Each structure stands twice: as C-alpha cells, then as structure tokens.
C-alpha cells in the first residue's frame, strides 16, 4: 500500500497568514493527489484534485502543487472559515490512502 505522510500534523495560524501543508507519498504517484477539507462533524469537502486543479466553487486562495512523491497545499491569506483539518489522498492505486490529516487551528 502507498503510505501518505502529512506535515505538520497541526499548526496554529492567524487570519491573514499564509499556510503551507505538505504531503509525501511512499511511492511515486505522478499527480494522482487530492486535497480535502473537513470541519468538525461534517463530511470532507474536495478542494484540489490532480495535485493542482481547483475544484469548482473553491476560493482561489487555495492552491496545490507538486508531483511524484512530494505535494503542497497552500492557503494564502487564511480566513476564519479555513480553520479545519486537511487531508491528502492518493488515487494512483487501490487501496486509495489518505494522509493522517493536518489540523489548522487559530493562534
């Protein structure tokens, strides 16, 4: 199975900050990498697919980059509604695996 490792596991940031979350795959996955946002008690929401494509309706302050084993999710100018947990997911091969999550908290 492909292991997905996110870092950091949690971070504290302020409104307006630039936030970067990384995700590393244990094997090459090309750009078969998606990012999801999850708020407490809610279902995950797709943000980015294919490493860098912004899902329709997602604010442009969210962006993704990377290929092969290393990927990045960037939030420019963090907004109050962005405090949540973020997960990466590989769909290169089944079993589709998720990272352990990165919780973005208010500083």
Partner 1 sequence: EVQLVESGGGLVKPGGSLRLSCAASGFSFSSYTMNWVRQAPGKGLEWVSSISTRSISIYYADSVKGRFTISRDNAKNSLYLQMNSLRAEDTAVYYCARVYTSSPGDYFDYWGQGTLVTVSS
26, two tokens:
């244990």
Is 44 a binding residue for partner 1 by CB under 8 A? The answer is yes
Strand pairing category for 10-13 and 102-106: parallel
3-class DSSP state of 88: strand
Residues in the chain: 107
| Residue among 5 and 17 whose Cβ is closer to partner 1 | 5
Is 50 a binding residue for partner 1 by CB under 8 A? The answer is yes
Strand pairing category for 70-75 and 97-98: unpaired
- Give the total of residues touching partner 1 (CB under 8 A): 27
Angstrom distance (rounded) from CA 56 to CA 64: 14
35, two tokens:
């990012």
Min dist CB 50 to partner 1, Å, is: 5
| Residue among 26 and 91 whose Cβ is closer to partner 1 | 91
Min dist CB 66 to partner 1, Å, is: 13
Which residues are at the interface with partner 1 (CB under 8 A)?
30-34, 36, 38, 42-46, 49-50, 55, 87, 89, 91-92, 94-101
């Amino acid at each position: 199975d492909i292991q997905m490792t996110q870092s950091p596991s949690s971070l504290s940031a302020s409104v307006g900050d630039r936030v970067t979350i990384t995700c590393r795959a244990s094997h090459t996955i090309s750009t078969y990498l998606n990012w999801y946002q999850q708020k407490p008690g809610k279902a995950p929401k797709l943000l980015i697919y294919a490493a860098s494509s912004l899902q329709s309706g997602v604010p442009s302050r969210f962006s993704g980059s990377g290929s092969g084993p290393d990927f990045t999710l960037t939030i420019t100018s963090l907004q109050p509604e962005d405090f949540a947990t973020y997960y990466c997911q590989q769909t290169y091969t089944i079993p589709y695996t998720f990272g352990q999550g990165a919780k973005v908290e208010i500083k």
